[in-house]
Amino acid sequence: MPYINVGEKNSGSIDLYYEDLGTGNPVVLIHGWPLSGASWEKQVTVLLAAGYRVITYDRRGFGQSGRPVTGYDYDTFSLDLHKLITKLDLRNAALVGFSMGGGEVARYLGRYGSERVSKAVFISSVPPFLLKTADNPEGVDGSVFEGIKKALAADRPAFLSAFLADFYNVNLLGGKLISSQVVQYNWNVAAGASAKGTFDCVSEWGTDFRGDLSRIEVPTLVIHGSADRILPIAATGIRTQKAVKGARLVVIKDGPHGLTWTHAEQVNHELVEFLGQKDLQAYVSGSSGVTSENKGEKNEKQ
């Protein structure tokens, strides 16, 4: 199995597990908390069929990657991504971040620029700034993050079970767009992650990405569900689209946080269409609107 070394800690190395599949322009898929690169299952096969080279990796502390007790911050996460991109010598790459992974996309572009990157995609993502402050009244009170950490410390497996129920809006979509087996599989992956990493990442959800987003100069797509209970669209997706020059927002009607599974067909359609866009100037000039996606039908909101 392929690994990349991103550092050393005590007597061991910190290695990230990754998969590098297919040929063509590279697409790097960055997973959300508390899952792994395997969560992109429904996107990988479609992107490969569309002729892309697809790279997934497990964030430090998660999946099959190393589990150090430090480094669970976005500066380190973006450095890990930078090392992966450099090792594989990726050029003209598209960075696609889901949920917490959207933070890596923002921080990477903010710190390292777009020399190796051609496009950016934020799916159900955490930017621009989730923490409520004096200059960010739209954010979430810090007590919410502290409550999550307290619940994780008390009973991490039980918290993850409740979290995944809201992740997929199971009470509404269970047995229809998401099976109990998929939820259980996700729980297995989440429960198998580093307890320390799982806990420490929660504080990073309050990272301020506004400066990073203002530096993005590549075509950008934002996909978000209208029924996201984890990262409500009003506090995240809508604001991210406004913060990135020329970005386009696609709203998946009734989509939960985990819409890469429940609404995979719609997400994949938008993703492949965006990645295949040749006339970038036409894309940018037509990106000021919001597309509402419902059962594959799109309506432009003026």
255: domain CATH number is 3.40.50.1820
> Is 288 strand, coil or helix?
coil
In the predicted structure, residue 283 carries a pLDDT above the cut 60 = no
Q: Is residue 168 part of a domain?
A: no
In the chain, the amino acid numbered 92 is N
The pLDDT-based confidence of 279 (bands split at 50, 70, 90) is low
pLDDT digits (tens, 9 = 90+) for 5-44: 999 877 789 999 999 999 999 999 999 999 999 999 999 9
Residue 213 belongs to domain spanning: 3-128+207-301
| Contact of 245 with 145, CB cutoff 8 Å | no
CA angle, corner 128, sides to 122 and 129, nearest 5? 140
Q: Is 172 part of a structural domain of the chain?
A: no
Which of the residues are catalytic?
Answer: 99, 228, 257
Residue 12: per-residue pLDDT: 83
Q: Is residue 223 part of a domain?
A: yes
R_g of the chain computed on alpha carbons: 18
SS3 271: helix
d(CA 260, CA 135): 32
Reduce the DSSP state of residue 171 to 3 states and report it: helix
Considering its fold, how many domains does the chain have in total?
1
Residue 261 falls inside a structural domain: yes
pLDDT of residue 244: 98
Residue 153 counted as domain residue = no
Give the predicted TM-score (pTM) of the model. Answer: 0.93
Task: Tell me the C-alpha distance between 288 and 301, whole Å.
Answer: 10
Beta bridge partners of 291: 250, 300
pLDDT in tens, 59-102: 999 999 999 999 999 999 999 999 999 999 999 999 999 999 99
In a domain, 182, yes or no: no
Contacts of 292 (CB under 8 A, 6+ apart): 250, 251, 253, 298, 299, 301
- pLDDT level of residue 286 (50, 70, 90 thresholds): very low
| Average pLDDT of the chain to the nearest whole number | 93
Is 140 inside any structural domain?
A: no
